[in-house]
Amino acid sequence: MHNESSPPSVATDGAPAAVSHPKTIKSFVLRAGRTTSGQAKAFETLGPQFLLPYRAAPLDLDAAFGRSAPNILEIGFGMGEATASIAALLPEKNFLCCEVHQPGVGALLKRIGEQGQTNIRICSHDAVEVIDHMLPLASLDGIHVFFPDPWHKKKHNKRRLLQAPLVAKLAARLKPGGYLHCATDWQNYAEQMLEVLGAEPLLKNTAADYAPKPDYRPLTKFENRGIKLGHGVWDLVFTRV
């Protein structure tokens, strides 16, 4: 999730240092930021229960959550505000959340502790590798990708997360009838998402083009500020056929 308050680290050539010359698409850009004392305490006290270590082996989701329930994957949750809100609103669902930004991971752990939530697990690792190695085919009931980095310069568009190869992997990990919900505040990226998702044979659009914002997705502070400035937000909801 992109955040105007935490810009990407930048290499001398003007490209983000974490992916200056990527050979494969990654789901993240390492960002600057310090973990607060409260977040550090959350890592120490809550990490053992809610952090899932990355392993290149299929993940038993029932064992990870201690129950059998619909499983939702979230890719990139920023500081975790929306994630915690959605998980609280939908306690009957499990949320497996991938984020590499450590202050964001700490912030979500802190929210989990403050709100007494039990239906969130965090894998602080590149989501693409988690998908490739930990998530079996047809294992997910839903996938959320909210406000991924837009890479708004045309020469950087190829670095965008939602491109055909990854979309095919995501679709294959959805159960029949499962959904993929994406949201962006960058119109050009919304148009690309619509094209790429629409071209994936395993997916079907739930709307003619863009979908109404589902009730479970809260408006973030960043989004509210953008709306007041006249910026658009686009939601796309596709289901696995």
**Angle, vertex CA 181, rays to CA 179 and CA 187, nearest 5:** 145
Told to judge if 149 belongs to the known catalytic residues of this protein, a careful annotator would answer yes
- CA dist 39 and 110 (Å) reads 6
Is the Cβ–Cβ distance between 61 and 71 less than 8 Å? yes
Q: Which of 126, 149, 185, 235 is catalytic?
A: 149
Dihedral angle at the C-alpha atoms of 44, 46, 49, 53, nearest 10 degrees? -50
Catalytic positions, written as ranges: 149
